[in-house]
Structure 1
Amino acid sequence: MSARLSSRRLLPVALSLLLGVGLAKAGDIYRWTDADGRVHYGDQPPPQGAQKVDAPPPPPLSPEEAEQRLEEIRARNAASAEARAKAREERTKAEAQREQRAAECAAARRQRDAMLAAQRIRGADGQWYTGEQRLEKLRELEKAIAEHCGGNAAR
């Protein structure tokens, strides 16, 4: 019975200590500005440079102001989503262009290597290339390789 009595006496003391710690912690309010210039308030300081302020954060907005801000946020979110979609589309297009260039580069290199390895070459018309025609075709292939392979014709 004495253990029960002592725990009943300690309960109010423990609750008042917990309440006092909570109130002491809730008293500090910090204000800081992020990299985008937005002002923030909080009960814990950010990693760098917060000012401790004595005033509470600004009062809540009226319903009309809240609705207007909500619409602004929705408009910014829609614009951001549109910008992300456009950037994604541009990345996809750029990747397709890189793949196309890589395919054209590989084809030009294969043609050049085949032309260098063969003793005689026939054109699309079935006629054998002369020495000058062969050199001209090699120049064209080297130019295509330089264009499609980023100037790296050696690979």
Structure 2
Amino acid sequence: MVIWSACNRKREGLWQSWVAAVLLLGLAVPVQADIYRWVDDDGTVHYSSTPQPETSQRERRIYDSEGRMREILPAPMSAEERAQAAAEREQAERDLEATQRARQDRAAREQQLRRAYASLDEIEELRERRERSIAGNIQRSEAQEKTLLRERERIRRQLDGANEGSPLADRYRAELEELDARIARERQYRRGQRDRLSAIHERLDLDRRDFQQLVMNGRE
């Protein structure tokens, strides 16, 4: 019995020694952890397993347990940098919106031109018709002014032969004022017609250019 108890104690001691060795071996295995590199205000470089709170406003580099850099955490932007970044984002959004509107306007303009004209020749035909119409209006107005001027000259001679201060002289003066107003209106009408013709040429020139670029893709 004594021999058996001694053997049991010996086995128990060996078992405890083996367990202790296993635990020590486990503790000897290096734990994989990130290592943080940071620089303080004095320029001193530090390494630690946890990031330093006071370095939150600086760039931080993270290394693995073997010393290889795994990640760089950039320093947060300053208030001025954040404001500039926000302004740049807003400008980029405005530029994008402007580009989208320009694309939509281009598509709408192309559709408008396709509905209005079948070819460049049709634009020139429309130009000629408008020119003839306005030229006719101007010629009729000039003829009307000539008639009014002749009538004005006739009444002027009658006024010269009438007694000064008589009712007849007053009537001639009133007729002359009316004729002068009608002559002024005819001249103003012709100026408006010429301005209208200039605007038509400008618009048709633009239509021709856009039709060639948008519809015909720059072809003649």
Q: TM-score, normalised by structure 1?
A: 0.46
Structure with higher helix content: 2
Larger radius of gyration: 2
Q: Which has the higher contact order (CA 8 A, sep 6+)?
A: 2
